[in-house]
Structure 1
Amino acid sequence: MNFKIQMTLIQLFWLTFLLTFCTSCNGQEQRTRQVEIPPRDVTTMQSRASQSMTQDQKGNIWFCDSIGVTVFNPSTNKFKHYTEKDGLSHNNVNSILEDNKGVIWLATANGITTYEDEIFSVITIPTIIGNMNYIKTSSNLYAHIENFINCILQDSKGNFWFGNQKGIYKFDGKDYSHFTENDGVQNNTGYAISDGQIFGPESIIEDKSGKIWFGGRGTDGLFCYDGKTLNHYNVDSIEWVRPLMQSSNGDVWFNARRKPMLYTYDGKSFKSFTSIELKDWVFTMLEDNDKNLWFNNGKNDGVTFYDGKKFINYTTEIGVLHNASNFFCTGILKDKEGNIWFKSLSTELCKYDGKTFTFYQE
């Protein structure tokens, strides 16, 4: 073999080797190419506070009744009642909440009852607050007031808060605890909260910044927990102040027992809100989709509408009348379609669709 032929063969060998190597590397690069993984959307859930009325995921309207709880199905216009005979822990139901998984929680005079997959389950007072000399609530409710669960909140992190006559308790999905005894809580209230001096909260809400507000009978004013510090607010020296809701403009609304007025907190200061149209104390309110406010007007003066400029009083016992005083509204609800529902003491329901009031009664 002459020299030229030998060199040509050598060149062909190396050329083939390089082509094979490069092709193999390119193939490996394609097989192991990394794909950028989009960041996971981590958001907090919307908090849910118990009320005297709520709408479940199926569209049913739940409301506290004089005995037990009643469920109204708007698609069939049928009512269904549940009492202790059906599995409730007590017939005195103070408020209702549906959690983010669709479970119904009932705050009763004898612990908590949950409803899931058409089954009632009871969470007893000893389970919630620990060992105690427990006696089941009898027909004499106030002889066993320590068993009362007044209100429930599921906060934006998924924790549950319960207002009990002994104070505030939390449930993190595994354990129940008295939140004021948790490590890291700085107490700026001047009250010995670990000794149960703060008791009887009737309402708990969470605002958009994550602050937990609670107050009511026996709490000696209003309290706010920001995740680290517990603060106390003495609003006009009123002992019985309850947080009601937060409106779309960020104001937190509070009532004052037996006073025809409300208070708002804008993040800096408290302001009073009143009108000659408010006849008695307001204990339930909401904001509709058009940012109008609706409140119950005491025990006998129906419902009051406020659009930011004018007030209108409504009553629905004998139709829609202005300035009438014979309708005791005990609950207001905005459903998923934006309709406003009202409940009377006589358990009559009324729906307002923005134009017409429609009544439902058994």
Structure 2
Amino acid sequence: MKCVHVYALFLVFVVHTSCRQKQTNVPQDNIRHHRTGLSESQLKEAATSKVPMSMVRNVRQAKNGDILVASYIGVYRYDGKSFTNITSTIQWPTFWDVLEDRNGNLWFASQDSGVYFYNARLNDKFAQGKSLPGAQAGFQHFTIKDGLAGNSALHIYEDRAGNIWFGASRYDGKSFRNFTTKDGFPSNSIRLLLEDKTGRLWFGAQGENMFVYDGKTFTVLKNKDGKAFKNVWSIIEDKKGCIWFGDNNGLWRYNGKTFTKVSQKGAYAIIEDKKGNIWTTGADEPPGAGQVWSVSRYDAKSLYSKKPTVTEIKSGPPAFLGLLEANDGSIWFGSLNGVYRYDGKTITDFKSAAGQK
């Protein structure tokens, strides 16, 4: 099957795992406990651990090949031998995403504390003993006070012009521009997830429709029954130009004209590996007690058949979240309690004693 040449990549975050009510006079450690879902003893262990031990929403790769892991307790860098918590001096944010931009700078998005920026060039000079003023010697912190649309920044995206997007906020290196319905957008909760090769912008919104903007018009995509795809968590373009995405009802494929439901399995995250296989993480059943999540691989040779061959790599609980194929072909995936690596034969749980050696 030859798909039309459609370019897109789309990842929409899901509903927060905890619904927090406003509280007053609550000790800071109790707030932290509530955010992470960890017990007090688990929190202490995670805070001092040499590996990620809390929820990992996203896993990325740095330009030098290092693995970047965004966890609730901190953002870690794995150099092939050991982990380093590169945000150890920042206390209390629950991190959701991490990005190394084209200039080698690092961005960290949090659920509750805005965005942090680490200037690689300036901090390299600082590490060499050169004096740098104030924030330039460490992390810069952006919040609502600095023009960010909200302190909940769950996704980072860099567009072709070098702008950095945090949900509805676009940062051009000097200031933020926030987009709302006043700008003609269908929602005030939009998230830019992709600028495709034709210049179109792909957006999603929590619990709402996904849509694409061609520079003039916003178009909400709908299936053959006329129903819009809501709460889309992830979307990629495969090597043939087809679009794969997951919504509340399963995994879908779009060839530019027709939507095909591929599986009932949920797709919180989707990637295509170097061999053309499609990988997903997601729930196999509707929300509820005993819900089973899995890491699944759809075989490249059967992707366009009526029933693609699916191999379940790992199932749980816990829930499995962000996905990455590293340069060496290994598959990394986040979970509710840490990060895993699959080398094609063995799954390494870095929380275990064996995984920390």
The one of 179, 183, 186 equivalent to 1:194 is: 183
What's the counterpart of residue 232 of structure 1?
220
- Listed as ranges, the gaps of 5+ residues in structure 1 are 1-45, 131-145, 181-191, 316-323
Shift in Å, 1:296: 0.7
Q: Distance in 2 between matches of 1:355 and 1:87?
A: 37
Q: Residue type of the partner of 2:160?
A: S
Determine if contact 1:87/1:121 at 8 Å carries over to the other structure: no
What's the counterpart of residue 156 of structure 1?
160
What's the counterpart of residue 139 of structure 2?
120
Per mean C-alpha deviation after superposition, the further-off stretch among 248-257 and 47-56 is: 47-56
Q: Residue type of the partner of 1:360?
A: F
Return structure 1 stretches of 4+ with deviation > 6 angstroms: 46-51
Q: Residue type of the partner of 2:218?
A: L
Matched, 1:177 2:177: yes
What's the counterpart of residue 107 of structure 1?
109
Shift in Å, 1:52: 0.8
Q: Distance in 1 between matches of 2:76 and 2:142?
A: 20
Determine if contact 1:49/1:154 at 8 Å carries over to the other structure: no
What's the counterpart of residue 296 of structure 1?
281
**1:300-332 alpha-carbon deviations (Å, 9 max, x no partner):** 3321110123101121xxxxxxxx544532221
Q: Distance in 2 between matches of 1:358 and 1:47?
A: 28
Q: Distance in 2 between matches of 1:61 and 1:246?
A: 23
Distance 1:306 1:251, change over 3 A: same
What's the counterpart of residue 141 of structure 1?
none
**1:215-244 alpha-carbon deviations (Å, 9 max, x no partner):** 1314x3112122333323345244322442
Shift in Å, 1:213: 1.1
Determine if contact 2:142/2:148 at 8 Å carries over to the other structure: no
Determine if contact 1:170/1:177 at 8 Å carries over to the other structure: yes
Identity of aligned residues (%): 28
Q: Distance in 2 between matches of 1:49 and 1:255?
A: 9
Q: Residue type of the partner of 2:95?
A: V
Matched, 1:286 2:271: yes
Q: Distance in 1 between matches of 2:293 and 2:148?
A: 39
**1:152-206 alpha-carbon deviations (Å, 9 max, x no partner):** 211123222221xxxx2222333321246xxxxxxxxxxx443876133456123
Shift in Å, 1:271: 3.0
**TM-score of the two chains, using structure 2 as the length reference:** 0.65
Q: Distance in 2 between matches of 1:153 and 1:53?
A: 14
Matched, 1:81 2:85: yes
Q: Residue type of the partner of 1:213?
A: W
The one of 36, 58, 72 equivalent to 2:64 is: 58
> Which residues of 2 match residues 210-289 of structure 1 at below 5 A?
210-218=199-207, 220-234=208-222, 236-257=227-248, 259=249, 261-275=250-264, 278=265, 281-289=266-274
What's the counterpart of residue 313 of structure 1?
312
Give the aligned CA root-mean-square deviation in angstroms: 3.0
Determine if contact 1:48/1:153 at 8 Å carries over to the other structure: no
Q: Distance in 2 between matches of 1:348 and 1:243?
A: 19
**TM-score of the two chains, using structure 1 as the length reference:** 0.65
What's the counterpart of residue 327 of structure 2?
336
Q: Distance in 2 between matches of 1:246 and 1:147?
A: 30
Determine if contact 2:280/2:295 at 8 Å carries over to the other structure: yes
Q: Residue type of the partner of 1:54?
A: R
Determine if contact 2:75/2:98 at 8 Å carries over to the other structure: no
| Paired residues, number | 267
